[in-house]
Amino acid sequence: MNIGEAAAASGVSAKMIRHYELIGLIKSADRTTSGYRVYSGKDLDTLRFIRRGRDLGFSIEQIRHLLALWRDRSRASSDVKRIALQHVDELEAKMRQLSEMADTLRHLATHCHGDTRPDCPIIQDLAHADGDDLAGSVSSKRPGGLKGTLAN
């Protein structure tokens, strides 16, 4: 099948398929005599694997490693589990970080009058470049209020 059909069947855009080929995540597709890419069922399986990995938030390098393990029939499942649990830890850290960001913004919004006056603690926090805490107890958990979280 051609790249458009492979994209439709795998859920990976043609642009991303070309990108994955360029970075060596997938092998370069076979070509017809006129130069068009041709994809096999095995290629589709690989693209679906990548798509599912990306849907679960794995990085390209993690997916590269998982693909190698997938192809290695003598792999140890503990290697796969280790990568998955490491990713769970990363996701949970991001969730904590996002929750702290929401708490800080909620706190700032609570202290904003939301009227016609120009004074606004949200703007003050965003503009406060020296890292002092303007948002109170919520952002005091992180140096720099919002700035400390958004930089990550």
Residue-range domain boundaries for the chain = 3-71, 97-150
The structure's pTM equals: 0.75
pLDDT in tens, 1-52: 999 999 999 999 999 999 999 999 999 999 999 999 999 999 999 999 999 9
Which CATH number describes the domain made up of 3-71?
1.10.1660.10
**Closest C-alpha among 101, 111, 119 to residue 136:** 111
Asked if 10 and 51 touch (Cβ cutoff 8 Å), the reply is: yes
Give the amino acid at 114. G
pLDDT in tens, 95-138: 999 999 999 999 999 999 999 999 999 999 999 866 554 444 44
